[in-house]
């Protein structure tokens, strides 16, 4: 932490002075909770499998069993995961009135578990599932629990169609309302805090750029470099579970 103390203090001061600060979080905030990310070199999930074969809407409609075989171990990790200090730090900033909203690319629900109130899940979530044939909605937790026990592809009790968790697969549009609210928040923000995101997945990766272009300041806390590092007011390439609690402590103590 000593090496980053100056950057942490600068980030804290920016958040103290903010009128409308928001956070954008990616997989890197949840990896300390045991949920693997998708793109880290050597360890990301997409290093192990072609996402278009198992996590695209076209592949799901043709072979839903391939998706469920792939997602089974990930589902167990999500079900078992608990919020970590970085999740709690953002919740504390929100509770203290220093953070207006969290835009998250994650589907794990850990921000809500940490008691964050205004969370925009732009890539969907695992709380519900929908039949891809008749569009009936189901509570997803029993489906995921059954999946852990080795059950086959879950099907609709009305039409027999396969059920898909309400997460966004490749080839699907992002959910309209969270995306609209996320864009609105980015347009209002004078500070955007990026946590654990490589900023590689459009259109969400473009939100910090939009915010920068209307005069917002950018803080990035992420292990890997991003395309906006050169334009950020503060960049900290360190563990989010160490950096975020320290930032929250300094901001709230002010």
**Max intra-chain CA distance, the chain:** 60
Q: Which long-range contacts (CB under 8 A, 24 or more apart) does 48-56 make?
A: 51/170, 52/170, 55/169, 55/170, 56/169, 56/170, 56/171
Per annotation, catalytic residue among 118, 123, 214, 237: 123
With both helix axes pointing from N to C terminus, report the angle between 240-253 and 5-17 in degrees, rounded to the nearest 10. Answer: 50
CB distance 186 to 208 below 8 Å: yes
CB distance 227 to 197 below 8 Å: no
Within 10 Å of residue 178's Cβ, how many Cβ atoms?
Answer: 18
> Is 118 annotated in the active site?
no
Cβ neighbours for 237, distance < 8 A, ≥ 6 positions apart: 222, 223, 224, 225
Indicate which residues carry an active-site annotation.
Answer: 123
């Amino acid at each position: 932490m000593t090496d980053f103390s100056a950057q942490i203090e600068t980030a804290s001061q920016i958040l103290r002075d903010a009128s409308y600060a928001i956070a954008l979080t990616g997989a890197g905030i949840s990896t300390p909770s045991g949920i693997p990310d998708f793109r880290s070199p050597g360890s990301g999930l997409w290093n192990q499998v072609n996402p278009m074969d198992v996590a695209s809407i076209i592949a799901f409609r043709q072979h839903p069993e391939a998706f469920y075989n792939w997602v089974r171990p990930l589902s167990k990790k999500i079900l078992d995961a608990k919020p970590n200090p970085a999740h709690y730090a953002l919740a504390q900033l929100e509770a203290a009135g220093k953070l207006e909203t969290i835009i998250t690319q994650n589907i794990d629900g850990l921000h809500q578990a940490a008691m964050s109130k205004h969370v925009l899940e732009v890539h969907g979530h695992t709380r519900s599932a929908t039949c891809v044939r008749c569009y009936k909605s189901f509570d997803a937790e029993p489906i995921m629990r059954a999946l852990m026990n080795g059950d086959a592809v879950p099907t609709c009790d009305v039409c027999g169609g396969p059920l898909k968790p309400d997460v966004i697969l490749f080839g699907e549009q992002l959910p309209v309302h969270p995306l609209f609210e996320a864009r609105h928040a980015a347009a209002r923000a004078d500070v955007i805090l990026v946590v654990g995101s490589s900023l590689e997945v459009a259109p969400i990766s473009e939100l910090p750029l939009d915010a920068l272009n209307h005069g917002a300041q950018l803080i990035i806390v992420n292990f890997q470099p991003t395309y906006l590092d050169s334009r950020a007011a503060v960049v900290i390439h360190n563990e989010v579970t160490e950096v975020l609690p320290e930032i929250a402590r300094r901001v709230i103590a002010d």
